[in-house]
């Protein structure tokens, strides 16, 4: 499902923060995205989330830009796409073995005691997940029976709002395949992905990882 179709579908609450949000988010460049992609994504999400506090709105937009970069990185890495689509050792659902889209479960909250901002962000991202999933079904994706309700016959319905858990998980089969292709040069990327996948979310900075992007830039110079 094209990302822009989903972004276009978002209702607008207020556009008054669009320009300040573009300027604020420009300090964290998105090396794997085109400028016009970043601009449109900020514009649409800023308008949709315009009534939220600046901190939460910008964190949600920043998260979506981070997720989209991971999406591009995985598109560049044919090994991951091919394995997951055609050669997964764990058919039929692969690693989608539960409702892993949940950002902060009750157990997570009790154990990690996240900040109010982290809880607020998780709540906002959950709402955006719902919208993205509904939009995907509206565009023709067909739900697949399985342990996660975001699973469809053509894969995950989420492109911009996957959870950190789903986003960073690389199974041993994929890790071995990446090492076979890239050798030692992929180790930094694998370590950063693994560490972020297992990060306990306490604050806003725990949803994303600059180390993952930096390691991917080393692996896929462009």
- In whole angstroms, the minimum distance from the beta carbon of 170 to ligand SF4 comes to 6
CB of 67 to ligand SF4, least distance (A): 11
Binders of ligand SF4 among 157-186, rule CB under 6 A?
Answer: 158, 162, 166, 170-171, 173-174
Is residue 40 within 8 Å of 28, Cβ to Cβ?
Answer: no
What are the C-alpha distances in Å from 182 to residues 83, 111, 112, 220?
15, 37, 36, 11
Chosen residue from 1, 59, 72, 151 binding ligand SF4 by CB under 6 A:
151
Half-sphere exposure of 4 (CA within 13 A, CB side): 5
Residue number of the CB closest to ligand SF4 reads: 94
- Determine contact, residues 170/194, Cβ cutoff 8 Å: yes
Contact window for ligand SF4 (CB under 6 A) among 26-34, 56-64, 145-153, 180-188: 145-153
Buried b (16+ CB within 10 A) or exposed e, 166-183: bbbbbbebbeebbeeebe
Q: How far apart are CA 161 and CA 37, in angstroms?
A: 16
> Which of 30, 52, 60, 84 is in the footprint of ligand SF4 by CB under 6 A?
84
Contact residues toward ligand SF4 (CB under 6 A) are 83-84, 88, 90, 94-96, 100-101, 148, 150-151, 156, 158, 162, 166, 170-171, 173-174
């Amino acid at each position: 499902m094209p990302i822009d179709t989903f972004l276009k579908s978002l209702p607008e609450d207020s556009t008054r923060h669009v320009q300040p949000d573009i300027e604020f988010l420009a300090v964290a460049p998105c090396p794997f995205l085109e400028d016009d992609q970043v601009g449109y994504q900020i514009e649409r999400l800023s308008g949709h989330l315009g009534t939220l506090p600046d901190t939460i709105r910008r964190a949600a937009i920043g998260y979506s830009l981070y997720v989209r970069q991971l999406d591009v990185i995985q598109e560049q890495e044919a090994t991951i796409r091919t394995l997951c689509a055609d050669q997964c050792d764990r058919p039929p659902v692969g690693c989608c073995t539960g409702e892993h889209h949940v950002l902060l479960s009750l157990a997570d909250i009790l154990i990690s005691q996240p900040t109010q901002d982290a809880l607020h962000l998780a709540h906002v991202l959950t709402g955006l997940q719902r919208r993205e999933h509904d939009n995907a079904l509206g565009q023709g994706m067909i739900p697949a029976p399985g342990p996660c309700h975001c699973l469809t016959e053509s894969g995950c319905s989420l492109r911009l709002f996957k959870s950190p858990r789903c986003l960073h998980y690389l199974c041993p089969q994929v890790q071995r395949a990446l090492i076979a292709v890239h050798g030692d040069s992929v180790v930094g990327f694998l370590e950063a992905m693994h560490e972020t996948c297992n990060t306990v979310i306490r604050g806003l900075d725990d949803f994303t990882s600059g180390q993952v992007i930096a390691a991917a830039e080393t692996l896929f110079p462009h």
